[in-house]
A = this chain, B = another copy of it.
Amino acid sequence: MSQGNRCVSIQAEQARACTVREALDRVGGKWSIGILIAASQGPIRFTELERQVEGISRRMLTLTLRNLERDGLLHRHVHPTVPPRVEYTATPMARELYESLVALTRWAERHRAGISAARAAYDREHGAPVG
């Protein structure tokens, strides 16, 4: 949810880094991905999200929803009923993003073990956390 990546006055290769950051800044928050995935299955209501995205607080759900809506990744539809009924849906842009995230997912799956091993090795050689 951080801003401030304006991508100015950097040379060649770091420009690419900046473009990647642009994309990551849209999903870098602690809850964005979970919400996006839940909303990609079809329209979903506020309270349903609160249940499906485990551990999220009401405040963070609202904030993250607003940001995703602002970036055009979620569409918010308010039914004028009482009690209110609000449904969130992933936009086509968000669905494309999700496709792109699959590549990342596969990377994580491939290297889950390797990373754990690397961490364990590192923590053994240097000071382990709490030790």
Chain A interface (Cβ < 8 Å from any Cβ of B): 2, 9-11, 13-14, 16-24, 26-28, 30, 33-34, 36-38, 41, 52-54, 69-72, 93, 96-97, 99-101, 103-112, 114-115, 117-119, 122-123
Contact = CB atoms under 8 A, between A and B. Distances in A.
**Max chain B CB contacts within 10 Å: which of A9, A26, A36, A105?**
A105
Contacts of A117: 72
A21 B41 contact: no
Given A71-B118, A100-B107, A13 B33 contact: no
Copies of the chain in the assembly? 2
Given A14-B38, A14-B52, A104-B104, A21 B9 contact: no
Contacts of A104: 20, 23-24, 100-101, 103-104
Contacts of A33: 17, 20-21, 24
A53 B21 CA distance: 13
A108 B20 contact: yes
A interface secondary structure, majority: helix
B72 A115 contact: yes
